[in-house]
């Protein structure tokens, strides 16, 4: 198959990209401990994948409170900033670009991962189903503590400072993580937000925190260097929403004045999507570039671009196993299979030892 559209040049904010293949954020849980610090192995991993038109980093906690998984990196300490500089240097050495994904997990955490062993925070005291990945192994999620209204400005400040730290580290931009059941989505969706203050109830109120975060992050970076990730139909981490089309159309209308570089949309999870949600209508409402994500193959990505359903396509699992994914797609070469047993935690095995065509 010819990938004419996939390998055409594209505009993302004020950046000119050589093609439309984006490396999606991928949690791999291999940061150095103590301190959640990016390391030389991480730099090698990202450097191997620098033929992506843009790399979006793994989800990165904006504060100690924002942490929800063992061995994941942060962007709130000097050591972490210095660690990320190694990663950025490896990517920039190959003339590629990398954005940092800003992450607060909210309730998807465990007290053993939190400062002073406190409870995770959330819009409402509603526990998710499942277990947290901790240093002691998998532990049942706890019922989180509902944030007080007067605590929310501190959450916004955590995002602002993380955006400043990302710029200091040398990233090319940032992505606000408002998807996959983490804190911002917990505020957005009515299944997790039962608040009665100005951050709960109506769609306008539930969107408020995401807009406040977007404002402070774009104040630091400018809209051209900021993207946002959403998952309107996502149920991962026990999420639900009664009126997703109305919620996300309103959110996009309110985001448009920030002139964001892109909207990163998780359209499906594990190969399934909602037939009731109109992603095309969502795309038409957004003023910037639309980045599709969710089980795409090269062929499906080409079709999406050719049919004007997206501007860029982000690949996740394929990038784990294929560091030179653009080259393989361009040549029609066979793709490596990913090993799910090595996705999270560990060492170089299943991380930097996937072969490239040159290797």
The catalytic position among 45, 182, 296, 354 is: 182
Asked whether residue 231 is domain-assigned, the answer is yes
Asked whether residue 145 is domain-assigned, the answer is yes
pLDDT at residue 195, rounded to an integer: 98
Asked whether residue 198 is domain-assigned, the answer is yes
Residue with token string 């999270």: 344
| Dihedral angle over CA of 296, 173, 29, 299, nearest 10 | 10
130-158 pLDDT per residue, tens: 999 999 999 999 999 999 999 999 999 99
Strands 262-266 and 289-293: parallel
Model confidence band, residue 358 (pLDDT cutoffs 50, 70, 90): confident
Asked whether residue 179 is domain-assigned, the answer is yes
Asked whether residue 43 is domain-assigned, the answer is yes
182 is catalytic: yes
Q: Give the domain extent around 186.
A: 10-342
In the predicted structure, residue 283 carries a pLDDT above the cut 70: yes
Number of domains in the chain: 1
pLDDT at residue 271, rounded to an integer: 46
Asked whether residue 165 is domain-assigned, the answer is yes
Contact between 175 and 264 under an 8 Å Cβ cutoff? The reply is yes
Asked whether residue 325 is domain-assigned, the answer is yes
Q: How many angstroms separate the CA atoms of 193 and 142, rounded? A: 17
pTM over the 0.75 mark: yes
Asked whether residue 351 is domain-assigned, the answer is no
Q: Domain of 48: which CATH number? A: 3.20.20.70
Q: In this predicted model, which residue has the larger pLDDT, 268 or 194?
A: 194
Residue with token string 């390391």: 39
């Amino acid at each position: 198959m010819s990938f004419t559209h996939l390998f055409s040049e594209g505009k993302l904010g004020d950046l000119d990209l050589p093609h439309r293949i984006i490396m999606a954020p991928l949690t791999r849980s291999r940061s150095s401990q103590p301190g959640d610090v990016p390391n030389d192995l991480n730099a090698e991993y990202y450097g191997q994948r620098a033929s992506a038109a843009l790399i979006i980093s793994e989800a990165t906690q904006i504060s100690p409170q924002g942490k929800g998984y063992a061995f994941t990196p942060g962007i709130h300490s000097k050591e972490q900033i210095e660690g990320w500089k190694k990663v950025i240097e490896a990517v920039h050495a190959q003339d590629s670009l990398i954005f940092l994904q800003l992450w607060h997990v909210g309730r998807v955490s465990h007290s053993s991962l939190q400062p002073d062993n406190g409870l995770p925070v959330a819009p409402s005291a509603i526990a998710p189903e499942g277990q947290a990945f901790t240093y002691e192994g998998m532990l049942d999620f706890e019922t989180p503590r509902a944030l007080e209204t007067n605590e929310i400005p501190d959450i916004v400040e955590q995002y602002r400072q993380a955006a400043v730290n990302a710029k200091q580290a040398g990233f090319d931009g940032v992505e606000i993580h408002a998807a996959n059941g983490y804190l911002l989505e917990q505020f957005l969706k009515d299944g997790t937000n039962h608040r009665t203050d100005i951050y709960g109830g109506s769609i306008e109120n539930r969107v408020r925190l995401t807009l406040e975060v977007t404002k402070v992050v774009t104040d630091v970076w400018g809209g051209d260097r900021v993207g946002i990730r959403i998952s309107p139909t996502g149920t991962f981490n026990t999420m639900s929403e009664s009126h997703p089309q109305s919620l996300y159309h309103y959110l996009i209308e309110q985001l448009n004045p920030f002139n964001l570089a892109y909207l990163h949309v998780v359209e499906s999870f594990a190969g399934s999507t909602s037939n009731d949600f109109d992603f095309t209508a969502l795309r038409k409402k957004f003023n910037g570039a639309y980045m599709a994500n969710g089980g795409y193959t090269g062929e499906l990505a080409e079709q999406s671009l050719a049919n004007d359903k997206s501007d860029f396509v982000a690949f996740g699992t394929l990038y784990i196993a294929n560091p030179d994914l653009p080259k393989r797609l361009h040549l029609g070469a066979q793709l490596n299979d990913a090993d799910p047993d090595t996705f999270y935690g560990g060492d170089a095995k299943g991380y930097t030892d996937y072969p490239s065509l040159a290797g």
